[in-house]
Amino acid sequence: MREDNIEDTIAAISTATGEGGIGIVRLSGSRSLAVAGKIFVGVDKIKPANYQSYTMHYGQIVDNHKVVDEVILSVMRGPKSYTRQDVVEINCHGGLLSLRKILDLTLRHGCRLAQPGEFTKRAFLNGRIDLAQAEAVIDIIRAKTDSALKISLSQLNGALSREINRIRRGLLDILVILEANIDFPEETAQTQDVAGILRRLIGIDAQLKTLLTSADSGRILREGLHVVICGRPNVGKSSLLNALLKKERSIVTPVAGTTRDTIEELIDVKGIPVRIVDTAGILKPRGLIEKKAVSLARNQIDLADLVIMVFDASSKLNQLDRGLIKVLKNKNVIAVINKIDLKTRIEKDKINQVFKRIVLLAAKSGKNLNLLEDAIYNFVYQGKLAGPEPMLVSNLRHIQALRDAQKLIAEARDIHAEKLPVEFITQNLKDACVYLDKILGKDFSADLLDKIFMDFCIGK
């Protein structure tokens, strides 16, 4: 458990480590302006405590009358600030020494060093954002593609939260009817309302299914698609990786076994972040090093979301090819028939019998590489074009909570169909609301908050 107190005044460096044009030290809490007043001397000679909100002031940070740096001081008074507390941001030169000296001064004059994500945590605890929006902040910071950024911004703006609240209100409306029927069974109108419960439950189930439909694609946009390139030696795996990267990353030679270790890169495929891994050629190991390389390749295949199995179009399928086909027949595979610029000898019909996604290309020249990118895109979106509105669900915690709520709704429908007492339905609906509340942070534990915010950078 982290030892943090929302009443403390906290400070942290909020810009990335390293040299830069500008660096920011951020303060939040009731004593932010008082601490700033002890270390900041403005050219206007006015104390920070007297500055108006949303104003910026030029001056110097001083330590015992010695100038540390010239800065711009920003003031944002609560509750109209990021944390709903008084916030001060000291914009200084971006050198690490300057930032550390200013941070040290704030700590000496009454601030506590902020914990990871503590500024955003305060925004949540003070009611400015809900927990789903708070989690979107770290997703924005970590977004690797425009699509990933779009879904995170949508969640930060409350799109997912509004949908969850809409479903939650629907559940509460049903609970009102059921509770009234339990308390006042003699009221005919209420009894008649119960007859429409099934229709309402079906509607809520449909809303949950709509959210969950895009969950797998949303998770991939958030975390990246884990793709492994595999195949026997010398089919062109490294050439394919270089073509996708549009630069030479892997050494390409005619010698079998050149790639001994896995090589991983992050690429953007039509807006999808793809963590692509080039593995050693799967062969019968000739020594300890090759045995280790093949073992690593097989482990990567087991963990992959998608496998790109590469074949050499200029040669017939051999025992190694057939062995890999057997291993991968039940996995998500795009079969790539490489070297189509050479005379074709491979038996394509045998590959067609096993894999439904097949791309013919020439990795060295880049011919048809766009077809492979299209195949990866279609795998993520399941053959459907991404709509104009971003997907709402990408977080595994949210996905699991929605699935748990959906399961309870399905059970409630079964209970209703069997004409069991409505008391059984009410408990299911209350439990479903609890799962939805966990997404929004209406129901949370300190351990959950610690787990979520520990992944944040300290200054956010």
Average pLDDT estimate for 244-258: 56
Crossing angle (nearest 10°) for helices 197-213 and 396-417: 160
Give exposure, 69-103, as e/b (b: 16+ Cβ within 10 Å). bebebbbbbbeebbbbbbbbbbbbbbeeebbebbb
- DSSP-derived letter for residue 312 is E
Instruction: Name the pLDDT band for 259 (thresholds 50, 70, 90).
Output: very low
The percent of residues above 70 in pLDDT, for the chain, comes to 87
Domain boundaries, the chain: 10-130, 144-214+393-441, 226-381
**Which of 337, 265, 324 lies closest to 297, judged by CA?**
324
Average pLDDT estimate for 455-459: 85
Q: What share of the chain is helix, strand, coil (3-state, %, to 5)?
A: 45, 20, 35
Cβ neighbours of residue 228 under 8 Å, at least 6 residues apart? 276, 277, 279, 297, 300, 301, 303, 304, 306, 307, 308
Average pLDDT estimate for 203-227: 88
CATH of domain 144-214+393-441: 1.20.120.430
At the top level of CATH, which class does the domain 226-381 belong to? alpha beta
At 40-72, the pLDDT tens digits run: 999 999 999 999 999 999 999 999 999 999 999
pLDDT of residue 314: 94
pLDDT exceeds cutoff 60 at 386: no
| pTM of the full structure | 0.80
Q: How far apart are the first and last CA of the chain?
A: 19
pLDDT of residue 286: 46
CATH of domain 10-130: 3.30.1360.120
Mean pLDDT of the chain: 86
At 346-382, the pLDDT tens digits run: 999 999 999 999 999 999 999 999 999 999 999 988 7
